[in-house]
Every structure is written in structure tokens, then in C-alpha cells.
């Protein structure tokens, strides 16, 4: 495997880097520098900026409105995006329902939905999990019963990220309660402004509201919003989850976060916390960098495989496990090396190095990384099945 970028790829990297330098808003970069997430307006505004440039749906083929980049170009783009302090695009439109629609959708569905995703004007959420159906997703109960030209949807979803920001929800629903569980599931597009939908917030330990419960009571969804045919939902869900897991490794952001940790240690004044001069702090950073290098090489292998037209199998599960463990280890190191500086809360006066004060938020958020996108235990089951035949 040749790890050198070609002359064309290096030119592409320069172009992307310059564009990010000129276009990432200072307020967005300041948030990243302090380990904070953007709010709704910042996130959506940034996605629209990318959309105008044609760089939002970067994984899409050109015929559907993507830039038609190679896997290596996408990798370079993501590195430069994180390096510039810009957040990743919300995955629900561009990485999840978009690829589903251009792969399985009807001509009308493509015409109606793809443009809004590519431009960053229309926002989506993912209605899969239910209170008793997370890892065991096939047991989901939210029912869609055919009534003339509509499905009538009743049930409840949970952990629905950004449902309160979303215009549309792609939902797994049960259209047949009699057949084998997987065969009775369908994939439905639901307009979030339809009467009968109630969104209740769930506040998480990072102090923010990303998550929701979504209740459906006699929600009427036009039949033309069914993707594929009835009972095809499980096939579509499996296709989509592989997409979700390849973006979840977060190599580019972990790279940036390790650089940020180094900078925090370098900025710390004598006597106010761990510093770059401390050998144990440098050793801790070195351990993280070794894990990052291993993850990055695995990522390179998947990039090379994608370039050769090979689909991803167990690799995406491996990337999810190692990527999320590294994300947690980096924030763990930040909190421990920050010591008392990491213990402040939003309403406290800043103490010492401000960047350390903000590590709590990201640390707390990333505890969920080994759960969302399919828990890491389930990924290990996937690997066991695919590689070991267990």
C-alpha cells in the first residue's frame, strides 16, 4: 500500500486547506478550540456554506449532486475540515438517508429530497431506537397500518438526536406484525410537522439537549413516503448502519484533539496544572498518538479497499470500536491532566488554562460514543460472526 499522496492529491489538499482557512467562521473555530459543540444556527449555517460550495454531500456520486471525489480525496477533506476547527456535517441527511434514497428511493423521492440534503437546507433525524428495542432493533413495535393512500403511525422512538432541529425523520416501522420480525419492518419518511408528532427533550450529562423521545399518535403518512417496498426496511437499515459506522471512527477529529491537548499542556502556566515539561504528560500523549497511528493505518486500509471498489464488512465495526475508545481515551487524558482545572462548570469563573475548564463537556458527551451507532459489544458480535464464523 502506497501511503504517499500523489501530486494531484497534494494540490487538492492545498485547495481545501485554503478554502477552510477563508470560510470557517471565527465563532465556530473558537468553539472547537474550547472543545464545545456548535448550536443549531451555527451547525445549520455551516452546512449551508458547505452546500453552496458543493462540499456538503462529499461521499455522493456526481450524478446525485456530490463532488464525485475518490475515497482518498474524502479522507483529505475530512483531515483538513477537522484541522480547521470545523464540525463534521450532521450525518442523518448526507451520510444516512441520502445514500438510502439514491440507492433505493423512487424517482419522485430522489427529486423531492436529494436537493435539500445537498444544499444543507433540509435537516433529518433517525427514528430507529425504541424504549425496548436498541441493540435488538428488529423487535421494534412502532406500527404503520395502511389506510387508503396513507399509513397511520402509532408508537414511540427514543434517543432521537436532533429531532427538535429536524424537518424530516427516516423511521423504521412495523408494517406486518405476523411474519418473521425482520421481514415485517419498513422504511418510512415522515414530515416532522405532521399532526400527532410530539417531541420531548432528554437532557444528557454534558449539559445539553441533543436527544429526544418522539411520540407518534395517529400520524398520517402518505404511502409515497415508503422507501422501497413494504418489508424491505431491514435490508435498508443494514445498508445504512454500515455507512454510519465508517464515519464514526473520527480519525480526523481525534488527530485534532490530540494536537489541542498538546497545546493546552504548552499553554499551562507554571504551578497551575500539568505542563508539556512534565515527562508523564508527554508519555500520556505519546500513548494516544500510538493508538491514533494504528487507527489511521486501519483507516488507510479501508480507504484503499474503497478505492478498489470493495465493500466494507467487519472493518467498519473495528473502526467504530477503536475509534470511539480512542475518543474516550483522549478526553480522559484531558480531564486527568487538567486536574482541578477540568472541574469547573459553565457558570464558574475560569480557572487557569481556560481550555482545560471546558474538557468536562466533551468528556461527558463522549461517554455515549461506545453506545451510539450500535454498541461496541454488538460490534464485537458482528466481527465474531463475519471473521470467525461464530
Ligand X SMILES: Cc1cc2nc3c(=O)[nH]c(=O)nc-3n(C[C@H](O)[C@H](O)[C@H](O)COP(=O)(O)OP(=O)(O)OC[C@H]3O[C@@H](n4cnc5c(N)ncnc54)[C@H](O)[C@@H]3O)c2cc1C
Binding stretches for ligand X (CB under 6 A):
125-129, 134-135, 159-161, 211, 368, 371-372, 374-375, 377-378, 381
**Residue among 288, 292, 312, 294 nearest 252 (CA):** 292
Minimum CB–partner distance for residue 240 and ligand X (Å): 11
Min separation Cβ 22 and ligand X, Å:
32
Quick one: 126 or 331, whose CB is closer to ligand X?
126
244 carries an active-site annotation: yes
CB of 386 closer than 8 Å to CB of 314? yes
Catalytic residue among 244, 257, 296, 315: 244
The residue (of 125 and 248) whose beta carbon lies closer to ligand X is 125
**C-beta of 265 vs 321, nearer to ligand X:** 321
Q: Which is nearer to ligand X, 84 or 369 (CB)?
A: 369
| Phi then psi dihedrals of residue 125, to 5 deg | -135, 170
Nearest CB to ligand X, comparing residues 181 and 381:
381
Helix axes 359-366, 314-338, angle to 10 degrees: 150
Residue nearest to ligand X (CB): 134
> Which H or E run contains 152?
strand 150-158
Q: How far is the CB of 101 from ligand X (least distance, A)?
A: 18
Instruction: Give the 3-state secondary structure percentages of the chain, helix then strand then coil, rounded to 5.
Output: 55, 15, 30
Nearest distance, CB of residue 159 and ligand X, angstroms: 3
Specify the residue for cell string 454534558: 206
Compute the least distance from the CB of residue 312 to ligand X, in Å.
Answer: 19
Task: Confirm if 133 and 182 have CB atoms less than 8 A apart.
Answer: no
Three-state DSSP state, 263: helix
Shortest CA distance to 125 belongs to which of 210, 19, 252, 223?
A: 210
Which residues are the active-site residues?
244
Amino acid at each position: 500500500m502506497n501511503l504517499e499522496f500523489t501530486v494531484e492529491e497534494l494540490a487538492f489538499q492545498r485547495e481545501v486547506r485554503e478554502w477552510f482557512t477563508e470560510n470557517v467562521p471565527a465563532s465556530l473555530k473558537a468553539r472547537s478550540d474550547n472543545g464545545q459543540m456548535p448550536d443549531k444556527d451555527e451547525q445549520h449555517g455551516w452546512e449551508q456554506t458547505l452546500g453552496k460550495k458543493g462540499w456538503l454531500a462529499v461521499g455522493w456520486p456526481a450524478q446525485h449532486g456530490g463532488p464525485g471525489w475518490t475515497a482518498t480525496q474524502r479522507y483529505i477533506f475530512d483531515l483538513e475540515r477537522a484541522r480547521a476547527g470545523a464540525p463534521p456535517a450532521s450525518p442523518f441527511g448526507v451520510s444516512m438517508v441520502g445514500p438510502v434514497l439514491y440507492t433505493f428511493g423512487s424517482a419522485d423521492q430522489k427529486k423531492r429530497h436529494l436537493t435539500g440534503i445537498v444544499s444543507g437546507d433540509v435537516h433529518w433525524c433517525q427514528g430507529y431506537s425504541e424504549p425496548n428495542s436498541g441493540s435488538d432493533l428488529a423487535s421494534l413495535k412502532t406500527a404503520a397500518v395502511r389506510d387508503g393512500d396513507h399509513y397511520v403511525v402509532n408508537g414511540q422512538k427514543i434517543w432521537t438526536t436532533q429531532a427538535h432541529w429536524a424537518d424530516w425523520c427516516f423511521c423504521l416501522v412495523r408494517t406486518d406484525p405476523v411474519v418473521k420480525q425482520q421481514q415485517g419492518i419498513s422504511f418510512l419518511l415522515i414530515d416532522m410537522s405532521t399532526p400527532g408528532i410530539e417531541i420531548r427533550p432528554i437532557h444528557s450529562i454534558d449539559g445539553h439537549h441533543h436527544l429526544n423521545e418522539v411520540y407518534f399518535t395517529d400520524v398520517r403518512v402518505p404511502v409515497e413516503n415508503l422507501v422501497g417496498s413494504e418489508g424491505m426496511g431491514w435490508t435498508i437499515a443494514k445498508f445504512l448502519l454500515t455507512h454510519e459506522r465508517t464515519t464514526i471512527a473520527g480519525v480526523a477529529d481525534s488527530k485534532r484533539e490530540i494536537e489541542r491537548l498538546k497545546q493546552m499542556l504548552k499553554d499551562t502556566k507554571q504551578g497551575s496544572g500539568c505542563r508539556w515539561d512534565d515527562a508523564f504528560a508527554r508519555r500520556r500523549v505519546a500513548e494516544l498518538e500510538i493508538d491514533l497511528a494504528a487507527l489511521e493505518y486501519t483507516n488507510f486500509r479501508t480507504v484503499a479497499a474503497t478505492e478498489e471498489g470493495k465493500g466494507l464488512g467487519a472493518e467498519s465495526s473495528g473502526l467504530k470500536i477503536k475509534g470511539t475508545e480512542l475518543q474516550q481515551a483522549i478526553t480522559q487524558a484531558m480531564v486527568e491532566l487538567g486536574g482541578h482545572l477540568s472541574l469547573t462548570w459553565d457558570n464558574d469563573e475560569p480557572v487557569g488554562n481556560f481550555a482545560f475548564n471546558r474538557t468536562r463537556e466533551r468528556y461527558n458527551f463522549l461517554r455515549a460514543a461506545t453506545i451510539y451507532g450500535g454498541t461496541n459489544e454488538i460490534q464485537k458480535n458482528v466481527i465474531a460472526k463475519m471473521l470467525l464464523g461464530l
